[in-house]
Chain A
């Protein structure tokens, strides 16, 4: 049972005064090493909250989350995350931002420099090492954020709507990049997204969540060969299925 993420009957609620707000209810997920899992669902279904629990930013929950059989506690370099906003520190150069991930890696200075360089290359930003974030476009900044999350060689990369704030073309291009990176690095990836096409294009499996309280509505395996053709029948069929599970009417899905 090597390198596996197990989420066992995880529930989370907030107490607001007398009221109890259930955000997640009895979530059970197993993610095999090297898989690409996407989580889709309406706003407020708790999918981002789930990522925060996995990355270790929030430990107020019931149930357990195990990585390789060990319960996770706090954040760790074994779990990287890319947020919707790039969250690069404006006072550090591209290099500095990516290198910040390795502060506590225990690697030698030389290994760190090499890792930073190779990850800048991986996301196609060679030549921009000394640039400050305000000198990068939105797409470039988001690539840098991906490089920062990957540079420490995490076992799992969590992606919290990482392409959500980008324009449509940059988004398609970065989906290709993500796919390429995933296949090259074989890192387990968990992607939260609103974009059903993105989920189908990238993942082995899609979890559809529903809201109030956040729970898993269905699991859909995606067995298409990579790279996937967004215009194929199989793709459209899957999309129809995911959307209908998300409570969309199936006739509207073609237009979307």
Chain B
């Protein structure tokens, strides 16, 4: 008896995926990614060597490297760099906490969302740069004004994505939480937040890039320190080599921030099975 079911004892073979490396950076992808930067560098070098563009406007890579060394040892590049990074770090912290916090509150309660909605939607449409002049009048040209403006700018993408992430929680999962008699707090912790986490992390990654870009603008517009200040000062003094040092540093740091956020995202979302190209 039961001949079918005994014959299929082995039918169901488990599927186990290979454990994922926490920091995946395959050699081939690495090399592919280097081709374009090297080509651009070569073009730059060639253009400088043959003086296609006047050296005042396009200094050679070696000159930029020397300027970098000089700025690092004789001037305060490290100090200015630190000033910019500190502003970005604090802005992300404050804007992120407020965005995630208020996003969760509005996501869980329609009343909170309706209370803040009209105000936030209006403030959102006044760009951070438009706030800066007034804030500078209040707080002066130092770091606090910039931190406030950048916090405001990163707050919105984080707030809106957190809210949307919570709104996207699957109804089935909420139903499951009810079946398992989870309390509201347990449901938030075990179901709603993990479910919204991918959205929140994407917005944090985006916000980190945004904050880094904005700090350069804000420092250029007001204040006497930071990479943004250096870049505009260099333009004024026609020190294109220093200007390009700042640009390269800004680009590389931005790249580093993005990779860091991506690694954090990957680490926290190991449970998620996605298309990895």
List A residues at the B interface (Cβ < 8 Å): 55, 57, 74-77, 80-81, 83, 85, 87, 89-92, 100-101, 103-104, 128, 131-137, 139-140, 169-170, 172-173, 175-176, 227, 229-231
B-side contacts of A77, CB under 8 Å = 180-181
- Say whether B271 faces chain A, with CB atoms less than 8 Å apart: yes
Cα distance, A131 to B16, chains bound together (Å): 8
Interface centre among B5, B197, B272 (most CB of A within 10 A): B5
Interface of A is mostly: loop
Tell me, rounded to whole Å, the shortest Cβ–Cβ distance linking A251 to chain B. 24
Cα distance, A10 to B7, chains bound together (Å): 43
Cα distance, A49 to B17, chains bound together (Å): 37
A-side contacts of B17, CB under 8 Å = 134-135
A105 and chain B: residue at smallest CB distance: B181
A-side contacts of B11, CB under 8 Å = 169-170, 173
- A135 adjacent to B16 (CB under 8 Å): yes
**What are the 8 A-B residue pairs with the smallest beta carbon separation, nearest first?**
A134-B273, A91-B194, A169-B11, A229-B1, A91-B271, A132-B271, A169-B8, A139-B12
A-side contacts of B4, CB under 8 Å = 172, 230
- Say whether B190 faces chain A, with CB atoms less than 8 Å apart: yes
- Say whether B32 faces chain A, with CB atoms less than 8 Å apart: no
Cα distance, A77 to B271, chains bound together (Å): 27
For window 211-226 of chain B, which residues contact chain A by CB distance below 8 Å?
none
Q: Apart from A57-B178, A128-B14, what are 11 other A-B pairs with CB-CB below 8 Å?
A: A89-B194, A91-B272, A92-B190, A103-B181, A134-B271, A135-B17, A136-B15, A137-B13, A137-B14, A169-B12, A229-B2
Tell me, rounded to whole Å, the shortest Cβ–Cβ distance linking B171 to chain A. 11
B272 and chain A: residue at smallest CB distance: A90
- B190 adjacent to A100 (CB under 8 Å): yes
For window 172-192 of chain B, which residues contact chain A by CB distance below 8 Å?
172-173, 175-176, 178-183, 186, 190-191
